[in-house]
Structure 1
Amino acid sequence: MGWKLFKHAFQMVTGNLHAALRATLVPMLILAGMFVLIIMGWDQSLGQPSPVLLFLVPAILIMCIVLFPLIAITWHRYVLKEEFPRWIPRLGDKRIGAYFWTSVLIGLILMIPSMIISTIVSALFWASLEEAALNGQQDILQFSISGVLAGILMGTLAGFLWMRCALCLPAIALNEDENFGIGASWSKTSGVSKDVLVFAFFLAVLNVAASFVPIMIGQVVVRDILSIVINWFTFMIGLSALTTLYGHLVEKRPLID
């Protein structure tokens, strides 16, 4: 089911691009505009931040706290409740706070295992390079391959843990989270843990492969725009997979090809 889940999430985004843009375009433009203001607020002549940044940096953090949960809630409800997204989202949704703080809690819970995984993978990565250097085989290609494999491995394990814990987030979006927390998410996904791992692997491969595309573009503006589009697409695939998994495991919907 892991490949089917990935394929379904991929097709959910590509087949509903209009709805995906309605759910994300305005929030993303707001964030992009604030990042541009931050760049412009840096005094290039002095190499120091201007006073305006004292306002912009906290403001963009607050907007991220509000807008990313809002995008996720909108998409969950579009897929599971068929509520078509508005171009201008409602910012007063009380579920935004619950969604954000639950996401933070999941991140804190996963911090220690993620650090352990990162340490082990990094150690294996550098050990392989040192062994290659001792054998006189170290080159750029081997370094790149080792880095790609390390990135895929870390992405797979991190994605797996997140998906196992985060099934409660769509429940928050649907106001059905009263008895459905992080522990229930882990229990509910225990029967499909191998499938979640397979999905996380494919998503990690996509993320790593997509990260190389902007590097091959010479023009800075085009590269930056392309990078934003790719990150948006992979973010929406992960969100779609979480939504699909909730619909399949909790609402007992069939996973249609």
Structure 2
Amino acid sequence: MNARTAHPMSGADVLLQLAMAVVGVWVAVAWHRYVLLEETSGPIPPFHGKRMLAYFFTALIVGLVLGFGAGLVGALVGLLTFNLMPLFVVAVFAILVCVIWVFYRLSPLLPAAALGESLGVKAAWAATEQISGAVLIAALILALSAMGLGLVVVFAVFPLSTLLGMALIAALQWAYSMVGISILTTVYGISVQGRSL
């Protein structure tokens, strides 16, 4: 069996993922600008291509740096605790918490890219110092609830209907993406623009 036979929809899958990424960035940039700049539009949000590219590359760089760092630490933890599974699980969870915390400390970089504002890593880190604890709690609640609902769908819905399970997973991903975008917008509004909650 060759690769084409094994994965007949691989090209379509790539195009679908690309389209979903473009739509996701489009929505994120439009939402940041709507809330933070009060930019109004019609039923279709404006397509800010330059801002979308800036947003995408900012998210990509932050994601790669955090992923690389978490991977290195995770590999080291795995080597040190490979015979101690409970300790390994605790360590992995701690790494996840740290990654989420660092991401939200740097999260103003994303709305800034959407708005076309100049904001460096040090400035983003300093701006979120006062609210880092609250943001981390919100992020953890979001992550744990998403994980819990995902497990329910996988173990309770998928055995009944694969199609329904896939539809629910897609709906959850979209809903939590919107909640995540709203958190980023709120963090930027409070920490950078000085808005009240």
Normalised by the length of structure 1, the TM-score is: 0.62
Aligned to 2:101: 160
Give the fraction of aligned pairs with identical amino acids, expressed as a percent: 28
Aligned to 1:188: 127
Give 1:252 deviation, angstroms.
Answer: 1.1
Aligned to 1:49: 8
Aligned to 2:114: 173
**SS of equivalent residue, structure 2 residue 125:** helix
Question: Contact 1:75/1:85 (CA < 8 Å) preserved in 2?
Answer: no
- C-alpha separation between the residues in 2 aligned to 1:230 and 1:125? 34
Question: Contact 2:35/2:185 (CA < 8 Å) preserved in 1?
Answer: yes
Question: Contact 1:95/1:172 (CA < 8 Å) preserved in 2?
Answer: yes
- C-alpha separation between the residues in 1 aligned to 2:78 and 2:35? 36
- C-alpha separation between the residues in 1 aligned to 2:64 and 2:196? 33
Instruction: List alignment gaps of at least 5 residues for structure 2.
Output: none
Deviates more, 1:198-207 or 1:233-242: 198-207
In structure 2, what residue type is equivalent to 1:108? Answer: L
Say if 2:15 is the partner of 1:76. no
What is the 5 A alignment of 1:2-81? 46-49=5-8, 54=11, 56=12, 59-60=15-16, 62-81=18-37
In structure 2, what residue type is equivalent to 1:237? Answer: V
Aligned to 2:66: 110
CA RMSD in angstroms comes to: 3.1
Q: Return the structure number with greater relative CO, CA threshold 8 A, min gap 6.
A: 1
In structure 1, what residue type is equivalent to 2:139? Answer: A
Would the alpha carbon gap of residues 92 and 199 (structure 1) be closer, same or farther in structure 2, given more than 3 Å must change?
closer
- C-alpha separation between the residues in 1 aligned to 2:144 and 2:174? 16
Aligned to 2:84: 127
Deviation track 1:66-105 (CA, whole Å, cap 9, x = no partner) reads 3322111011122223335654444452111111111111
Aligned to 1:223: 165
Normalised by the length of structure 2, the TM-score is: 0.79
Greater Rg by CA: 1
Give 1:233 deviation, angstroms.
Answer: 1.4
Question: Contact 2:25/2:55 (CA < 8 Å) preserved in 1?
Answer: yes
Question: Contact 2:105/2:128 (CA < 8 Å) preserved in 1?
Answer: yes
- C-alpha separation between the residues in 2 aligned to 1:58 and 1:225? 19
Question: Contact 1:152/1:201 (CA < 8 Å) preserved in 2?
Answer: no
Question: Contact 2:104/2:132 (CA < 8 Å) preserved in 1?
Answer: no
- C-alpha separation between the residues in 1 aligned to 2:15 and 2:169? 23
